Structures are given as structure tokens and as C-alpha cells.
Amino acid sequence: MDFSYSEEEKQFRATVREFVQTHVPKETAHRVSHGLRMKKADIVNWQKILFEKGWGSVSWPKAFGGCEWTPTQQYIFEEECAEANAPIQLPFGLKMVAPVLMAYGNAAQQAKFLPRILQGDDWWCQGYSEPGSGSDLASLKTKAERQGDHYVVNGQKTWTTLAQHADWIFCLVRTSAEGRQQEGISFLLIDMKTPGITVRPIIMIDEEHEVNEVWFDNVKVPVENLVGEENKGWTYAKYLLGHERTNIAQVGRSKRELKRLIRLASAQPQNGKRLIDDSRFRDRIASLEMELNALEITNLRVISSNSKPGPEASLLKIKGSEIQQLLTELQMQTLGHYALPHVPQALDLEWQSDFDADTYPEYAPSLSGFYFNFRKTSIYGGSNEIQRNIITQMMLSL
């Protein structure tokens, strides 16, 4: 099998590289390259820049305003964006709820929501997990009762990423208590400005406000915001999770972080010796790089298939999250004791360091928070233990 790029694909890469490297705002690129705190405006502005170029979504069909690029072109684009320190495009709208709307939504929903996602006008968040219903998602209890032309929603969602910024939430709700748990779930689109919604921050171990609790107290949702059929939401939820898990692989970002790891190991002395000169540490880097290359090939195979993401996406989720965590662990090791202090204020672009630049590496103040944050990658999107169960049941038992 030939994995080399064609001349046409090399030219395509050059075109993408020239655009992203000249259009990513310098302040935004600095935040990304130094692991600093991203602002909502950074992500929204980048989406609008891409939209103006006609690249709002490289994977969507042209019928919905996307580029409909080949899987290889999509991969090249994401790799070049990571290399240029561009912020990620917010996946909750573009790569999660949008595919569901294209596959199962009606024409009115597609016309209302998809253009605003593409243009960066609406920020979406995900209402799946609940206290006691995370990996066992089918046990969710948030209830939606039909009352005329509305549903009335009551319940709680948790670990809702960036809900403090969101305009809309796509939500799994229970509309029936009969039959199997999976058979009574529906998929609702809810305006976050609706009365009765309360967002409460959950502060993580890196002291950041990234996730939230979302409470619903008699929230009225128009019936027209039901996606597909009532009580068929489990089908749509699984379809969405396939796209989410594929996206978690983040090969382009990991390749960028691998380069950072090598740069840190090459520049930072440990007791007068660079870690890159330690054969055992080089072996760990080499092993990690081989794992990343294997993930890259697997990722290309999955996104190249014409079918919707299946259990293969679980492989990407497991390996992608493990590689991301290992990268942060090795980066911490390269800095040794310099990486120990956790300075949340250092995540602000305006922060002025009191440390001696000659003895305290520039990247160190934010690295421990980066490490803490990536502890969660093996849990969200369905824990890695659950992914192994899926692989066992749906792939290895065939």
C-alpha cells in the first residue's frame, strides 16, 4: 500500500499551508503555541475567517455549504492548521450535531441551524452525561414531557464542555419509561437562553472553568426542535458518538506536540545533560512516534470509508487519548522540577512572569495545567474501558 502523497495533494498542502500560516491571528497562534487560555473570540473569529475563505467545513457536503474534500485533503487541512497553531474548530456544532441534522433532521432544521454553525454564529454544547449516567448513558433521567406544541424538560446534565459560552445545546432526554432504556430517549435542540436553564461551573484540577452543570427547570422546548422521531434518539446519539470519537484522535495536534516534546528535550538540560541524549528517553519518544504513525494510518483508513463511523472509531478514541496523555507526561519529564509549579495566572496572555527567563523555561508555567487537563481524555466521549467493550462486542466477536 502506497501512503505517499500525490503531486496534486502536495500542491494542495502548499495552498492550505500558505493560507493558514498567513491568516491565523498572531495573538491566537501565540496562545495555542504556548498552551495559554483560549478565549471564545479566538475560536469564533477563526471559524469566520475560514468561512469567508469558503472553508467553513472541509468535510460537509457541498449541498450544505461544505467543501466536500476528500479524506486525504481533510487530513492535510487539519494537520496544517495544527502546525500553524490555529485553534481547533469547535466540534460540537461542526462535527457532532451537524452530521446528525444532515442525516436525520428535517429540511427546516437544516436550513435554520446549519448555515449558522458554518458561519460561526451559533456556539453549541453537548447535553449527554448526567450524574450517574456517563458511561452508562442509556440510564439518563432528564425528562421531557409533551404538552401540546412543546416539551417541558426537567433534569440535569453534567460535564457540559464550554456551556458557559453556548447559544444552543443538543440534548438527550427521556420521553418514555417503557421498554428498554435505549428505546425511550429522544434528541432535542434547546436554546440556552430559554427560561429555566441554569449553568453552574465545575472547576477542574487545573483550576480552569471548562465544564459545567446544566440544570433544566420546566424548560419549554418547541416540538419542532425534536430531531427525527420521538423515542429514536439512541440511534442518533450513537451516530453522533462515532463522529465525536473519530475527532478525538487529534493526530495533527499530537504531531505538533511531538515536535514540541523533541524541542524541549533537545534544549532543556537535566543536570548538565539534555534528555534527548539519553538513549532510554529517545526510545520512549521513538515508541510514541511509531504509535502516532500507526494512529495516523488507521485514522486515514476510517475516514476514507464510505460508511458512517462504526466501532473502528473506538480504536481511534483509545489510541488518540492515550497518545495525548503520554505526550503531556513526557513533556513534564523534559522540564523536570521546572514543570512542578502550577501557575493558573500564567495561562493569560497578559501575564508577566516574575521568573528568571534564563532558569525558568518559557513554556513551563502553563505545562502542568496542560498535563492536568489531558487526564480527562481517556474518559470523555465514552471511557476507554467502554470503548474496549465496544471493540470486543462488535469487532472481535465476529
Q: What is the CATH number of the domain that holds 203?
A: 2.40.110.10
Q: At what angle do helices 312-335 and 233-248 cross, to 10 degrees?
A: 40
**Bridge partners, 200 (sequence order):** 213
The domain that holds 337 is classified in CATH as: 1.20.140.10
Angstrom CA distances, 22 to 13, 76, 87, 122, 364, stand at 14, 17, 14, 26, 27
Looking at the structure of the chain, the number of domains it has is: 3
Confirm if 243 and 314 have CB atoms less than 8 A apart: no
> Does residue 218 sit in the same domain as residue 272?
no
> Does residue 309 sit in the same domain as residue 225?
no
> Does residue 188 sit in the same domain as residue 288?
no
Q: Is pLDDT of 368 > 60?
A: yes
In sequence order, which residues have a C-beta less than 8 Å from that of residue 194 and are 6 or more positions away?
219, 220, 221
3-state secondary structure 228-259: CCCCCHHHHHHHHHHHHHHHHCCHHHHHHHHH
User: The domain containing residue 270 runs over which residues?
Assistant: 249-396
Specify the higher pLDDT residue, 118 or 333: 118
Q: In whole angstroms, what is the distance from residue 124 CA to residue 150 CA?
A: 21
- Kindly state whether residue 238 falls inside one of the protein's structural domains: no
Q: What percent of the chain has pLDDT over 90?
A: 62
Specify the higher pLDDT residue, 60 or 354: 60
Q: Is pLDDT of 395 > 80?
A: no
Give the cell for residue 246: 473519530
- Kindly state whether residue 107 falls inside one of the protein's structural domains: no
Give the cell for residue 103: 442525516
- pLDDT, residue 344, reads 80
Last residue of a domain, one of 204, 232, 260: 232
Within 10 angstroms of residue 188's Cβ, the number of other Cβ atoms is 24
Give the cell for residue 141: 433521567
Q: Is pLDDT of 327 > 80?
A: yes
Interval 165-182 mean pLDDT: 95
- Kindly state whether residue 54 falls inside one of the protein's structural domains: yes
> Does residue 277 sit in the same domain as residue 226?
no
> Does residue 264 sit in the same domain as residue 328?
yes
Last residue of a domain, one of 232, 263, 281: 232
Give the cell for residue 37: 487560555
Q: Which of 321, 320, 325, 322 is nearest to 303 (CA)?
A: 320
Specify the higher pLDDT residue, 345 or 251: 251
Last residue of a domain, one of 207, 232, 257: 232
Q: What is the pTM of this model?
A: 0.89
> Does residue 211 sit in the same domain as residue 269?
no
Specify the higher pLDDT residue, 201 or 246: 201
**DSSP label of 326:** H
Phi, psi of 147 (to 5 degrees): -135, 95
> Does residue 178 sit in the same domain as residue 83?
no
> Does residue 192 sit in the same domain as residue 330?
no
Q: Which of 317, 334, 366 is nearest to 38 (CA)?
A: 366
Give Cα 255 to chain centroid, integer Å.
16
> Does residue 201 sit in the same domain as residue 281?
no
- pLDDT, residue 362, reads 64
SS3 200: strand
- Kindly state whether residue 34 falls inside one of the protein's structural domains: yes
- Kindly state whether residue 100 falls inside one of the protein's structural domains: no
- pLDDT, residue 360, reads 53
SS3 220: strand
- Kindly state whether residue 144 falls inside one of the protein's structural domains: yes
- pLDDT, residue 220, reads 98
> Does residue 208 sit in the same domain as residue 325?
no
- Kindly state whether residue 268 falls inside one of the protein's structural domains: yes
Q: Is pLDDT of 225 > 80?
A: yes
Lowest-pLDDT range of 178-187, 271-280, 285-294: 271-280
Q: At what angle do helices 251-267 and 279-304 cross, to 10 degrees?
A: 170
Give the cell for residue 239: 451516530
> Does residue 71 sit in the same domain as residue 170?
no
- Kindly state whether residue 392 falls inside one of the protein's structural domains: yes
- pLDDT, residue 325, reads 95
> Does residue 220 sit in the same domain as residue 253?
no
